[in-house]
Structure 1
Amino acid sequence: MSFRKFSQALAIAVASLVGLTANALAFNIDESVEGFWWESALQANRGWALQYLPTGPEAGVVFISGYVYDAAGAATWIVGVSPTVYDGQYEVDIPLLAFEGGEFGPGAGSPTSTAWGNVNIVFNTCNSADFTFTGGADFTQSFDAFLSVVDTEGAGYDRCVYQEEFTGCPAFAQDLGDRNCGIGGTITQDITLTNDANWVLTSAVFIGERAEIGDPVPANGPTLTIEAGTRVIGTKAGRTALVISRGSRIIAEGQPHAPIVMTGENHEGTGATAGDWGGLVINGAAPLNTCDAPPCEAVGEGDSGAYGGDDPEDDSGVLRYVRVQFAGDKVTDEDELNGIALQGVGRGTVVDYVQVHRNADDGIEFFGGTVNARHLILTDIQDDSVDWTQGWQGKIQFGVIKQIQDETVETDRGFELDNLEQNNDAAPRSGGVLANFTVLGKPGKLGMNPRRGTGGNFSNFIVTGFGTCLDIDDAATFAAAGTPGNLTGVLTFENTILNCSTNIVENDEAAADPWSSIAFFNGQPGNSLGNPNLDGVFPPANAAYLSGFRLDPEVYDDFFEDVDWIGAFRSRDSAWHYNWSEFLDD
């Protein structure tokens, strides 16, 4: 039997109810299933209304309602609320209640309810589902849902990404049952992970052969494509990670209402923890500073293969609307994986709207290369949230760091910024150009730590809540920066607000600092000390720092949006993190 979600006459009204956003993953019971499901083959057009109510990160409940009729035509109102459903779940059991009595009008009357039965709903696509009723009546119905939302120009569209019904796992994957397809080992062909299944990493997965030092960069390595709304699941038992080998590419293009999620086997509400799986590693062929005779190469953490080369335009693919969460599994006691490791990745690669949550090691680390990024979120990272080394020279605009406040969970720096540990003056010198960050720290921790000879240009930052906001370390770092009043431009802070127990620490190493970091900070334009009075991660309306603080055009080129506010967001209403991100408690 075929059911449809609503009539054209109700298009605008139902469009206001159907969010089709937030936690859309492979296949998710979420806002994408909201609306009216009816049996269009019958003239009576009987059916049910569904609404999804979020209750927490990647979790919610389904409310169902409808009328049933007895042989005499008397109607009974049936409603039910499901237990918690989690992202990646496509089946739900809902206990049903029958309501009688009550009044229509200003008074409610005295309605009563009795158990009526149960409905099991299996969603096949956005627009089809099987409903099986037991208890009150025993029968199965197949429902079709077609959402014809009307936009301002009268065109119809369906934003839900789950349009294809699962028919089985492809030849390159193992059928694990329950719409789970397993992949493992080295994959040397182009493959696509579709959003009609959950994709389980059964071991470390290498897209392309693992490179050794000295291997030529493949001209046409394989490409991994991941559809919007797809869920990739790593397992702790398999020591799993997803590695894109040098010369290969990843095309992970999510959508605001349908991000791609790489995660462990559990959800936050079912026992997920940092280190539940490995993480994402991308190896590129862009320059490093790890040798005296370029082009330089290095071998990645977790035995993830060689990276580096002489191509600053290296294109290792696209990460857009992607979340990586509960990763960082230890390979050895000394070797943990980052949530995302960008190793020798070039500026031909796109990284935009990316979140790393609850990683056991660093959130995102740049090992050399020239890759740029926008719209980054790092939440509850248990080591450094952002880390760079080995001569990374890229750009980032718009970022949020929010450290976990739980005293029983360890964390470290907001930013740990190195040139090269073995040679603090190695070239090319690390020197990211960053703007518009909001960095919320944990008492006793360090916000920003430029050290080991790094450079870096930082503008329009809010750094708050740490034990210490800023600590510049190592003689090479001071020398590269110049002196207060006579800066080289290698290391700068402008339009930055610091608000920590100790805003700037000095002389915390064995040797005294060559010059005053406080004078360095105070001598640059737009910097200030004081409480930004944030509401969570958002600025208060009409704050003085929300206008008049433009980026320096001599430093910030056309990669950067020309904004004049300090921090990641200008307002709660205009924030760019909605729908695709989680865990910000906003």
Structure 2
Amino acid sequence: MYRLGGRVDVGFDQGPTEEDSDAKDVTLTIAPGVTIFAGTGVAWLNVNRGNKINAVGTADLPIVITSRDNVLGLNTDSSIGQWGGIVLSGRAPVTDCKDPNAAPGTIACERQVEGAVDPALFGGATLTDNSGELKYVQIRYSGFTLSGNSELQSLTTGGVGSGTKLSYIQTFNSSDDGAEFFGGAINMKYFVSVGADDDNLDTDVGVKANFQYVIAVQRPNAGDSIIEADSDNTADGNNPRQNTRVSNFTFIQRSNASKGAVRFFGGTDYGLYNGVIVSPSTACLSISRAQTASTVANASIDELGAPVFRSVVAQCGTPAFLGANGVTADQVSAIFGSGTNNNNSAFVPTFSSLFINGANETAVTAFDANTISSFFDKTTYIGAVKDANDKWYEGWTCNSATASFGTSKTGLCTSLPTSY
């Protein structure tokens, strides 16, 4: 067991490009089975540009990063926001530059990590930048608020490049987002987000991202949307424009989010494939701004057209669709396209154990996501979990009243493993 005494930096920030004069590169290695806890509420871990983390657990020996109260046995399934979180800072392109005179997507465009007091910069022009690897990692009870809307999430990436490896990551009870990805080029498989008090999957400032096998579950009457993509601000026309694709997902929306389970705005490009949205008390989809809903592709502004849905089924509240800032609900409904491309906004879920596909899910024809990127596995099913024999989520995750993932090597999220 190791303690974070405050902000802990991995190496020094080496700037947006690799230089001979840079300080020596540092790699922080965290062994399988290790527990790390925050000794203070403002503790957080920052992997600076040019340095790496190597936190690779196993299904039998996951790495647990958590709070002091969790170690002392003081937490409940409603505890949140007890320390900062994990931040990976890289050299891939971002927008909304700190310097208003900098060109978005260039080495001159840098941003400050949200929630950090002292300088913690990210951004550059290296799409393939490598910040290391996280695998079989739990991040619990994180996300403190510094001031206003400046907050840390369980997992934050800033300008992280495609050389970074992210897989088998669980975030639990963040007081902000389960994970937020600021720019860069992200690829991640096997992500579980439970109990976030804001959004589960937040993407913005020009990120190019691919996610596959995602389970997101909210606590009852807590949290906001499952997905928030981009922001309505004066810089939302910057290039690169966000383009995020998510395949094989299961979203369980239990909050009363006024803007819906899935929110696209700020001109973002987005694709949802092979997924199930369970949102019986709220709208399933909200789209804001005419640029976000535009069906016209325009390479000169990195615009691919309206959001894309293929083999996505949803149980929605009334109304099922919301429009804002120049977009009507009818336009949103047409973009989702219920009745076409195997999409259905009047779906009746038949899950067992909260997220395991039943008869109705199995009956939906899957889309071959491998045709849009080699990153995606071709699957014959929608949703994150094919059937009762598909147990990729089991063993390395922790359990709670919000969501149980079967046999767990670490037990309840409110307790720590005493032995493996």
Output the TM-score relative to the length of structure 2: 0.84
State the AA in 2 paired with 1:364: A
Q: Are the aligned partners of 1:356 and 1:364 in contact in 2 as well (CA < 8 Å)?
A: yes
Q: Give the equivalent residue in structure 1 for 2:417.
A: none
C-alpha contact (below 8 Å) 1:419/1:425 kept by paired residues: no
* Residue among 42, 45, 48 paired with 1:242: 45
- 1:167 corresponds in structure 2 to none
Find the counterpart in structure 1 of residue 81 from structure 2: 275
- Corresponding residue number in structure 1 for 2:411: none
What's the secondary structure of 2:54's corresponding residue?
strand
Residues 1:585 and 2:399 aligned together: no
- Aligned equivalents of 1:503 and 1:299: distance in 2? 38
Shift of the 545–316 alpha-carbon distance from structure 1 to 2, 3 Å rule, reads same
Q: Over aligned residue pairs, what C-alpha RMSD do you find?
A: 2.5
Alignment correspondent of 2:203: 388
Partner of 2:157 in structure 1?
342
Aligned AA for 2:309?
A: F
Match of 2:416 in 1: none
The answer to whether structure 1 residue 522 and structure 2 residue 337 are counterparts is yes
- The aligned counterpart of 1:162 is none
- Match runs of 1:504-523 below 5 Å: 504-507=320-323, 509=324, 511-513=326-328, 516-522=331-337
In the superposition, relative to structure 1, how do residues 474 and 225 fare at CA in structure 2: closer, same or farther (>3 Å)?
Answer: same
1:275 positional shift = 1.3
Q: In the alignment, does 2:7 pair up with 1:201?
A: no
Partner of 2:351: 534
Cα distance, 1:480 vs structure 2: 5.7
Q: 1:117-196 maps to which residues of 2 (within 5 A)?
A: none
Change (3 A) 1:526 1:290: same
| C-alpha distance in 2 between matches for 1:497 and 1:463 | 6
1:228 maps to 2:32? yes
The separation in 1 between residues aligned to 2:95 and 2:211, in whole angstroms, is 20
The reply to whether residue 444 of structure 1 matches residue 247 of structure 2 is no
Which residue number corresponds to residue 230 of structure 2?
418
Residue type at the aligned position of 2:111:
A
Matched, 1:464 2:278: yes
Aligned to 2:415: none
2-structure distance, mates of 1:299, 1:215: 19
User: 1:575 aligned to 2:378?
Assistant: no
Query: Which runs of 5 or more structure 1 residues have no equivalent in the other structure?
Result: 1-197
TM-score of the pair, normalised by structure 1: 0.61
Count of aligned pairs between the two proteins: 379
- Name the structure 2 match of 1:357: 172
Match of 2:269 in 1: 455
Distance in 1 (alpha carbons) for counterparts of 2:357 and 2:131: 39
Counterparts of 1:432 and 1:419, CA distance in 2: 14
| Secondary structure, counterpart of 1:476 in structure 2 | helix
C-alpha distance 552-371 of structure 1, shift in aligned 2 (>3 A): closer
| Aligned-pair CA distance for 1:329 | 1.7
Q: SS at the partner of 2:336?
A: helix
Change in 2 beyond 3 A, CA 1:250/1:546: farther
Find the counterpart in structure 2 of residue 185 from structure 1: none
Over the matched positions of the two proteins, sequence identity in percent amounts to: 26
1:319 counterpart residue number: 134
Segment of structure 1 superposing worse, 422-431 or 390-399: 422-431
Amino acid at match of 1:438: T
Q: Which has the higher contact order (CA 8 A, sep 6+)?
A: 2
Distance 2:283 2:296 in 1: 21
Q: SS of the counterpart of 2:5?
A: strand
Check conservation: 1:506, 1:516, Cα contact below 8 A. Answer: no
Q: How far 1:422 sits from its partner (Å)?
A: 2.5
Matched residue type, 2:113: G
CA offset digits 1:513-540 (Å, max 9, x no partner): 3962112212640101211222233345
Equivalent residues of 1:218, 1:246 under 8 A apart: no
Cα shift readout 1:407-456 (whole Å, capped 9, x = no counterpart): 4xx31110000167332221111011110010001142221001011011
Distance between the aligned counterparts of 1:279 and 1:527, measured in 2?
Answer: 36
Deviations 1:455-510 (A, max 9, x none): 1111011010351111111122112667xxxx955520110011021363234x35
Does the 8 A contact of 1:419 with 1:455 survive in 2? no
Letter in 1 for 2:266: R
User: Residues 453, 380 of structure 1: CA spacing in aligned structure 2 closer, same or farther, 3 A cutoff?
Assistant: same
Q: Which moved more, 1:228-237 or 1:452-461?
A: 228-237
